[in-house]
Amino acid sequence: MPNQTFFNLPENKRKKLTEVAIAEFATHDYTNASISRIVVDAKIAKGSFYQYFQDKKDLYLHLVELASQERITFLRSTDPPKPQQGFFRYLRWLLGASAQFDLAHPKISRIINGAVYGNLPFRDEAVKRTKEISLDYTKQLVSQGIAQGDINSDISPDLAAYVISTLLGNELGNFILKQINIDPQKLAEEKPLEVDMQLIDKVFDDLVRVIETGMSSKLDAPSQ
């Protein structure tokens, strides 16, 4: 986490340093990203940087958290289906909106993809940061789904959130990449990819159908 001195900076200086750092890590992988370039472009002294962050890893993990939170903020601010239209319809919208975020915010998306698919020396720690933020958001959605009667109230909310978050997380990304025949490493690169959105939409449709079939409160209870 950044030192308190970073948060004590004027907002415009924090924003400038953050934007420059995002651009650096979106353009270069972690190994080749340069603190020297960042401080020059942000117009700060190198010594000042180490008053804000412990090292390059500390900065990168901060950006991973920031990028993950930015995606959640985007999802909250985008016009979703009305809650009364059902949890599973909302879930399908959520998948599509996440894909839209990646297309609309390529630099931020590359930060997240670099953490998930790149060759980081601390990849597990970076992935954990993204999962924690995603799981917290999913728990809120599940609680709402149970309150509306869309999810069986006998199911543990924590378990339901864990299942959905896991299915919608890194493994879904890996599955989709296999379906469209793209090397995961390419997601961490700067060059934008051409993707078959119809195929991806079909995967989203099928996944939500699988989750709803197994979790919907409208299904008959299994025989004992």
Task: Write the pLDDT tens digit of every residue in 31-47.
Answer: 999 999 999 999 999 99
- pLDDT, average across residues 164-183: 72
Give the per-residue pLDDT at 187: 53
Give the per-residue pLDDT at 162: 86
C-alpha distances (whole Å) from 94 to each of 79, 98, 170 are: 10, 6, 16
Predicted confidence (pLDDT) at residue 189 exceeds the cutoff of 80: no
Predicted confidence (pLDDT) at residue 71 exceeds the cutoff of 60: yes
Predicted confidence (pLDDT) at residue 194 exceeds the cutoff of 70: no
C-alpha distances (whole Å) from 62 to each of 31, 58, 168 are: 16, 6, 23
Give the per-residue pLDDT at 101: 83
For residues 147 and 213, give the distance between their C-alpha atoms in angstroms, rounded to a whole number: 18
Residue 5 in tokens: 């001195």
Question: What share of the chain in percent tops pLDDT 70?
Answer: 85
Phi first, then psi: what are they for 32, rounded to 5°? Answer: -95, -5
Sign of CA dihedral 27, 31, 173, 123: negative
* pTM, to two decimals: 0.76
- pLDDT, average across residues 147-173: 82
Predicted confidence (pLDDT) at residue 195 exceeds the cutoff of 70: no
Give the per-residue pLDDT at 114: 83
For residues 45 and 39, give the distance between their C-alpha atoms in angstroms, rounded to a whole number: 6
> Rounded mean pLDDT of the chain?
83
Domains and CATH numbers, the chain: 62-215 (1.10.357.10)
Predicted confidence (pLDDT) at residue 223 exceeds the cutoff of 50: no
Query: At 132, is the secondary structure helix, strand, or coil?
Result: helix
Tokens 């978050």 locate to 165
Give the per-residue pLDDT at 215: 59
Sign of CA dihedral 115, 95, 160, 84: positive
For residues 176 and 187, give the distance between their C-alpha atoms in angstroms, rounded to a whole number: 12
pLDDT confidence of 3, banded at 50, 70, 90?
very high
Give the per-residue pLDDT at 48: 95
For residues 167 and 165, give the distance between their C-alpha atoms in angstroms, rounded to a whole number: 6
- pLDDT, average across residues 68-73: 88
- pLDDT, average across residues 83-93: 82
Sign of CA dihedral 86, 88, 93, 97: positive
For residues 25 and 106, give the distance between their C-alpha atoms in angstroms, rounded to a whole number: 12
In the beta sheet, which residues pair with residue 1? none
Query: At 216, is the secondary structure helix, strand, or coil?
Result: strand
Between residues 94 and 10, the one the model is more confident about: 10
